[in-house]
Amino acid sequence: MKVRLNLATKPLVTHRRFLVGSAVIAGVAGIVFLALGWHVWAARSAQSKMLARIEEIRVETADLEARRAKLEKFFGQPENAKLSDRAAFLNSIIDESSFSWTQMFMDLERVKTGGVRLLSVSPKMVKGNMEVKLKVGATSDEAKLKFLRALEGSRSFGKVVLLSNQVGTQPGGDQQVFELSVVYTRA
């Protein structure tokens, strides 16, 4: 065993605690410094990459803008404008002719609830979207609401707008007759 007693009037003091404490603090400070340095380096590196990417995108955007302007100028010429309108017209015809009535009726069948019947369906291509006008007869308010909710919840139909609503007068006929505009998204 070691005896740690000292009766000197001016006792020698060990500096081990101080030295070890200083070394530990210096070590921790060093580790923190390295961690922060690495973090700063990583942040700067990421920032410079991002700036390079932004510059690339900016150049790409400027190039696309130039090409767009060039194309607009090209299509702005009278002879090309006619050609453009004709192409748009032909495209709309092609789109309408490729519309699948069978698919749309199958989708309507899925959303149609009890007490509701379709009176007329008229699809029309508007700005690239297939807008469908529906005339529907319902036996009650509740049946009408169920159908509207089913349409709104359907993935195949969107932008449901109620255009008109009439209350039926004929006994035994539909109590509610209403017109709807929906966008058929699977066209």
Partner 1 sequence: MSETVTFRKGIYQNELVRKATMWLNASPHPPLAIEIATDRIAGARLSRTGGLDGFAVEPLPPGALTPSAVETNIINIVAVKSAFESVCSRLRARNEDVAILLPDPVIRVFVQHFDEFPRSPQEAIPMLKWKLKKSVPFEVDETLISYMRQAPREGGVDVVTALGRLRIIREYEALAEHLGLTAGVVLSSSLAAVSLLDDRRPTLLARVSDTALTTAIVRDGVLCGYRCTELPAKGAALTPQMLLEEIYPVAAYYQDTWQEGIKGVRVAGLGSRLPEFVRPLEDEFHCDVRSLLHTAVSEGWLSDEARPLADRELEGLVGWMLQRK
Contact call for residue 5 and partner 1 (CB under 8 A): yes
Q: Which string of DSSP letters, residue by residue, matches 41-52?
A: HHHHHHHHHHHH
Q: Report the C-alpha gap between 111 and 149 in whole angstroms.
A: 9
Contact call for residue 13 and partner 1 (CB under 8 A): yes
Closest CA to 155 of 95, 100, 93, 103: 103
Contact call for residue 7 and partner 1 (CB under 8 A): yes
* Among 14-22, 69-77, 89-97, 103-111, the segment contacting partner 1 (CB under 8 A): 14-22
**Binding-site string for partner 1 from residue 66 to residue 105, where x marks contact by CB under 8 A and - marks none:** ----------------------------------------
Contact call for residue 164 and partner 1 (CB under 8 A): no
Contacts of 106 (CB under 8 A, 6+ apart): none
CA atoms within 13 A on the CB side of 182: 28
Q: How many Å from the N-terminal Cα to the C-terminal Cα in the chain?
A: 93
Buried b or exposed e, range 88-102, using 16+ CB within 10 angstroms: eeeeeeeeeeebeee
Between 10 and 127, name the residue whose CB sits nearer to partner 1.
10
Least CB distance to partner 1 at residue 29 (A): 21
Least CB distance to partner 1 at residue 23 (A): 12
Contact call for residue 26 and partner 1 (CB under 8 A): no
Residues found near partner 1 in the complex (CB under 8 A) = 1-14, 16-17, 20
